[in-house]
Structure 1
Amino acid sequence: MQHAIGAALQPAQRDVIRHSHERSATFGLVETMRPDYAVLSGAELAVKLDESRALFAHALPVMETLYAQIANTHSMIALTDASGLILHSLGDDDFLARAEKVALRAGALWSEEHQGTNAIGTTIAERAAVTVHGDQHYLRANHFLTCSSVPILDPHGNLSGVLDVTGDRRGYHQHTMALVKMSAQMIENRLIASGFGDGLRIRFHSRPEFIGTLMEGIAVFDLDGRLLCANRSAQFQFGLELGRLRSQTLDALFGERVDALIACAGETPCRLELHSGVAVFASVDFHARAPSNVSLATTAIAVREEAGSSLADLCTGDAQMNDIVARVRRVIGKNIAILIGGETGAGKEMLARAIHADSPRRVGPFVAVNCASLPETLIESELFGYAQGAFTGAAKRGAIGKIVQACGGTLFLDEIGDMPLAMQSRLLRVLQERVVEPLGAGRAVPVDFMLVCASNRKLRERVAQGEFREDLYYRINGLSVTLPPLAGRTDLRAVVDKILLRERFAGRVVRIGEDVLALFARHPWPGNIRQLSNVLRTASAMLDDHDTHIRIEHLPHDFLDELRERVQFADDTPTPTPMQPARGARLVDIEASAVAAALRAHGGNVSATARALGISRTTLYRKLRV
């Protein structure tokens, strides 16, 4: 049956719609038929989300930004995979209600085979941006829609998915397609930025002010100079499509060697010349993993600067930690929840971040929630999000919760033992069904994430006391590990060195002397690694400009006070030096000696001495009277 293709369309657009209608007819569709309204179950959709987790993780924040630009236009935004299956949607409530009637929601398939001519399906068929307006849709049931879709390509040029804005045809805006194209390009650029751990990334444009914008070209090369990928802007500036670019090298495209560009990495934009002779400004980023034979110090610095902590970074010689890391490695990527126990400050979040960094979901977000720090009145909206106008004081456009933010990545629930019972019930439902329903939304959002929980409480006791749900306990306790307290570890020196290397206080690599390490070894460290980090940070701030060694006089006085209260020194204290305690010396004498030395160093100036020691003048006078 003949359809109105639209006389106002350009010839090329008219041909796209005509060809799509012809394909729709060959699929056996009839314009008056009822569309295929089949929608995947929550479990089936969760599998599809897992298959597209990188796309979903990078598209979600872009969709939120795009929605802010089109809010209140009676429309919605949809993200699909390469088959046209809707993975996620959001939009105006009034239009979403109408969209539900034609299954325009997560879990529905909008390929041409199922829905006939429509922007999503036709974009997939044409691999090009497509707008389908009103009666250009093949099925009459969809004639009330106007849709603008853009393909999203992965870093290798393959179709990854489709970004679509659909609305009431009466509210059609010509600028919508431009917004969708810009958003799709943002997603593609994010995929490129996260898709290559090692290599040389060059961002360039003929005008330096366009570097850092959507107009910049992005090209990634391996360390042999072979091109790995290039975004659409780079392809345009090179004048070559990605298929032809894949055979090109850094030298052929920019006339430079890898080592020459590595030398200017991180500096202000440098001038380069494309193979076509066009001069461009370029910003160069260089990333490379440390080889296996480098020192622990070099590796620790590289890990900190490039990707944060990893599991290998946590293995510093303690057998307990080595065993924990080995056990965790066995379950990463196998959809097994991990529960981390241990005292406050023992490094539970550090381990959680390392798990994320070494997991297949590392390209996705790491979202941490401290269940103990959120007021009971806020934890529900913080975790699950809320719709517009869900409660008094709610943000005008609503908000997505932490659980949705973690899609494609890792959700870390710290101090989960302090979560209110009512929230435990809701969390259990999310973990079972893999969907979350924001407050006041009336619709479920599919979610997919790796779950890591932590608690300094003994959850089994909480279960026995009726303060923690037993079914939730077994849901989050796939693999349980307990971090040892710092005082019970055998790698104190390595932990100290790692913290000092990671922090690079004032740009310097700082060390501690053996006398300070001896004090550290005697301390019970009730605050564990967190307390140690704070002590080292404060002590480093006490150093003179060119000093690189922490000595006893640099240690915070509250730390020394705590040590004096908790520890009795034996008579085998090292032989006295200007910075070491005498045999049998009391800690109060060591402190007094350090204060006197600081006072002499500042010529008796009490104010200058107090500033150097990081204490008040009143405290200094009190210590001088001891």
Structure 2
Amino acid sequence: MDGPPEEPAMPGQPPLTALSVAASPARASLIANSHLRCEAMGIDPVRGAEGAPHGRSELSLALQRNERLCSHAAPVMEMLFEQIVDSQSMVLLTDAAGTVLHAIGDNAFLSRAARVTLQPGANWSEAVQGTNAIGTALIEEVPTLIHADEHYVRSNQFLTCSAAPILDPRGNILGVLDVSGDQRGYHQHTMALVKMSARMIENHWLADDHRQALRLHFHPRPDFIGTLVEGIVAVSPEGRIVGANRGAMELTGLSGAALRAHTLSTLMGLEIGALVDRFRHPLGQPLAVTLPDGRRFHLQARFNWPVWTASPLASATADPPFEPTLSPLPSARATGREAPVADLPSRPAQRSTTTPTSPGLQALHSGDAQIATVVDKIRRVLDRDIPILLLGETGTGKEVFARAIHQDSRRAQQPFVAVNCASIPETLIEAELFGYEEGAFTGARRRGAVGKIVQAHGGTLFLDEIGDMPLSLQAHLLRVLQERQVMPLGGSRAVPVDVNVVCATHRNLREMIQAQTFREDLYYRLNGLALKLPPLRERSDLPTLVERLLNQLAPENTPRLSAPVRRLFQHYSWPGNVRQLHNVLRTACVMAGPGQEVLPEHLPDDFVEEARQALQAAGHRLVAAETSASTVSTEPPAALPLHTLTHQTIRQAVAQCEGNISLAARRLGVSRNTVYRALRSSHDVDTSQ
């Protein structure tokens, strides 16, 4: 690819070359090192590497993975483009791998850029496009300008590109913000605009990550507080620094990890309680502080005052889109009495109670033998004080089973409290589980707070993703389960508790025990009965599940699946399991309309593409199996119909596997549903003869 044809110089402006752009020794060294890397990778400077855009499904997946980055960056990109409009240029956002996620720009230049695949879906890492601002910024992790013939691939040398990496509060690269344009329109201020815009995205991300934290804004000059060059650190209720923006790292001379190793006291000599009191009024004057190395700053503290006075832990388990509750929790006392239900949080995100309509175990029967076996085992240990450990992939319905266990137990009228051990920050999970007394730590609520374990008193405690619980808390949990009492943080008297414990995880706990990241004694305490929930691709009840979900999603005018959609569903591997099935059907109901037939065009594009690929692959495997069967058969080729040979092959495989459907399906290279359908069809044929 030789790139776009040469165009005349812009009116009133002489042609620019790389020599026209101010270059420091550091930038010259950066470009030289990049060219050496390209040579070592064997990139062709004439043709480059294969950088064609990904397919629609890959781009869709990249956008899903980076949905939060796109939402923070989109308004900033619009504002940045307003500053460079009509300049023959464009604004781009990429992920951490260099894949372009979003682009806006002048229409004429967008068309030119597309000729070198500078467009959404294309990868602009250095390994694909050679030296370029996006790819080189990802490797060097610094703002990077690549102008004209500084690009390694010749077809890209009509460009001038200014890129800045976007970092999260822990210093990890989220992606790159870039402005690319015609090299004749280069302007020295473009890089400054890109750097400021990237910082704006980073600051939005930091504020979103730590919405309920206390945030310190500081700078050597008080009039610079509130600008894009200020430093920002987020502080937890315990006084630990939990996040920082790029400005904080530059002003303090410390890395993100070094800052997070500090507390407010060790870094600035301040106590969080005094700081909260000083800045409870939003117009409080900046405070002068001195760091241990002598650097002096002026700082302003900003925080959500009602949250910090009511419940610093309220947002720890908030799941979007629900907002954290500010309702107070009663203090746990040694009486062991359950807190009044009216005083407990009731927002859906905390999932703290079971509704009367929660289905029991009988409702989980759907015709699948594996599910029936799991339900039967649960019934045998119900109300026997035997802890249940639910294993299985994400999305297989572990919480649904936990709620069904609670609903069918003698504890059904008592609380069901779910705790996702993976979603609560490590610094808060201890207080969230065990509760705390008044004054347990700086910033704690005046009346203290009841922990989740005490909230579940008399009912069921569901510990989801137990494999993600910090090792330091596992011993504490083990002691609570053995002694049946909880000691709140800062408390002097233990609170008796009576809970039925159900745990769940997608991790291999035995491997974690070997790696010493999960306590063996806790594993055996929780593993009274371990039950593995099968993934959806191994279940035989897909049609029943589809029917039930459609009835739930549209009970009055339930849509129906067309034959092509049913075939796609049967051969798809469902990596997201029942959760993914629910989301696909929810979209289908909306797109098809009430009572209408669901067609492939009503399904998400990425799902249809993947399902059709799976259907095609299954067809190839089945043809191969049929060909093999006809080759070894003693009957003449025309003696038996092809479908009969197929059924014979599948029955023989099942017999050789002693009735193990999963093993037979793996050996044949087809899905379990294909085996079940073949067995049912052959049974119908046998009984009719």
TM-score, structure 2 normalization: 0.45
TM-score by length of 1: 0.49
Structure with more relative contact order (C-alpha pairs < 8 Å, separation 6 or more): 1
